[in-house]
Chains A and B, each alone.
Chain A
Amino acid sequence: MSIIVSNISKSFKKVKALQNISFDVNEGELFGLIGPDGAGKTTLFRVLTTLLIANEGAATVAGFDVLTEYKKIRDNVGYMPGKFSLYQDLTIEENLDFFATIFGTTIEENYDLIKDIYVQIAPFKDRRAGELSGGMKQKLALCCALIHKPKVLFLDEPTTGVDPVSRKEFWDMLKRLQQKGITILVSTPYMDEAALCDRIALIQDGKILEIDTPEAIVKHYPKQIYNVRANNMYQLINSLNDYKYNHSVYPFGEFVHYSDSRIDFNPEELKTYLESKKLLNIEIEKTQATIEDTFMELAK
């Protein structure tokens, strides 16, 4: 086990940021912590990176206790905080060199590990970090977190505020790092990124809703979901909300995800109802539940 978290709780004054959190992360696993802002993801990361002390519970990272062996953890983990945390007035190369030095290593020594990522930003190595685009900043931050060849990598919302192209590239990089044997704990508010992890924990309001592989989590969704579409989205949502048999009604892009509370649900019946509400071009078809559907079902 690379990370073991057992019954961790943490409060700030009256706010219960984490309540009885437990999970394990296997060695070499890419584990995702999925939840909205304010769910407690950052607090959990700070407990695991020894920046905060939990009120209750215990945790080990890379085999070391977060409380008593915090110095060893600090030697063995890489941490990328949520906010872009590099020196804006230093160039790419100077930042990287600085972090290599304080971890007692050099860029050359572990260049293999960061090579894939670094070559993408190397053409700009004399540019100051403050002048880089979001995607480039992120790659630099990842290089800095990796430069001392950590056993465990903590990435707190690495893709927040980054455009889709950079996000895609970032996840590709994580997959490659995983193959080099680094355990990765990553947090994100984007449900669509969950599918890219080996296993995920859904977290909200300081509590874990479920832990499993993304496929299993989707499979566990208890209902059949239907994509419903009509000519007027607003009226469609209102009509579905008024429908007495509804179990859940959630807009999902151009569709509404609908599930029914009855076992013997007949879509034709719903269609007739919607037609009675003067909606046109009604389409109802079965669809797969997504992580987001599961999350909402569990958080309800």
Chain B
Amino acid sequence: MNTNKVIQVEGLTKMFGDFAAVNAITFDVEKGEIFGFLGANGAGKTTAMKMLIGISNPTSGKANVAGFDVFKNAEAIKKSIGYMSQKFALYDDLTVKENISFFGGIYGLSRKRIKKKSEILIEELGLEDVANKLVGSLPLGWKQKLSFSVSLLHDPKIVFLDEPTGGVDPITRRQFWEMIYKAAHQGTTVFVTTHYMDEAEYCDRVSIMVNGKIEALDTPKKLKEQFKVDHMNDVFLKLARG
């Protein structure tokens, strides 16, 4: 096994009755890569991601995530990955510090380590003044940055982001991407599922899923050249419309 490949997927399939929600997808993701996993609503990307993070069993095929087999070692996978979604991120009725120590706690970090990590994290994000405020009272952009940092608390090998920057103001969104670049630079693999094509432009490589299959997989630049268009949006439109 190539140690640089933190996600290896081969012929992964999920059937719901006769319907193949995910139809024999094959791809690899390398260490430190920002990988965009795109698709329209219902194209199967959520189902595929659920299999990769070990909360849904594949019908057939092979998948290895962070060195563990999704069939045999789903629990080990959960410990080696971080997850952040726009819908569920942090508890609004807990303070910034309480959220950090709660999530640190569920990943089994020692109290000392949580304390140290939360100090670093609060300083990096410039949240010193609001550390004891309820997360619900923070602006959306701050929440999302905090949420991303929290998903990295236990130094996961891979972090899965589900539409991380939808609706955020442009400046905060860039700060958010700078954080993602930094995490990737430090060796964390970033797996972004989204249907916002402007998020796709930031990824190193993207795959586009249509009706359960991966129809395209390359860097945004090459995909745009291949389809002779200027934006990922148009690549997507061409693919999805067949």
Contact = CB atoms under 8 A, between A and B. Distances in A.
Interface string A14-38: 0000000000000000000001111
Interface stretch (A45-53, A99-107, A248-256, A270-278): A248-256
25 contacts: A36-B168, A37-B140, A37-B167, A38-B139, A39-B169, A133-B41, A133-B42, A135-B41, A160-B167, A163-B240, A164-B240, A165-B40, A165-B240, A190-B196, A190-B198, A192-B198, A192-B231, A232-B185, A234-B184, A237-B181, A253-B198, A253-B201, A296-B170, A296-B171, A296-B174
Interface in B215-242: 219-221, 231-233, 236-237, 240-241
Contacts of A191: 170
Interface in A244-276: 250-254
A165 B241 contact: yes
A134 B46 CA distance: 15
Contacts of A135: 41
Given A38-B139, A163-B41, A235 B170 contact: no
Nearest to A294: B170
A299 interface: yes
B213 interface: no
Given A36-B170, A133-B41, A292-B170, 12 more contacts: A37-B168, A37-B169, A160-B166, A163-B40, A166-B40, A189-B167, A234-B178, A251-B174, A251-B177, A253-B201, A296-B170, A299-B171
B197 interface: yes
B170 A251 contact: no
A75 B97 CA distance: 50
B197 A164 contact: yes
B206 to A, nearest CB: 11
Provide the main secondary structure of the chain B interface.
helix
B103 interface: no
Contacts of B185: 232, 234-235
B195 interface: yes
B111 interface: no
Nearest to B86: A161
A300 interface: yes
Nearest to A292: B170
A296 B181 CA distance: 20
Interface residues of A, number: 36
A164 B166 contact: no
Interface string B151-187: 0000000000000001111111010011001101100
B68 interface: no
A295 B42 contact: no
A224 B128 CA distance: 37
**3 tightest Cβ-Cβ pairs between the two chains A and B:** A253-B201, A36-B169, A163-B40
A163 B174 contact: no
A251 B220 CA distance: 15
B202 interface: yes
Contact of B181 (A133, A189, A192, A233): A233
A250 B220 CA distance: 18
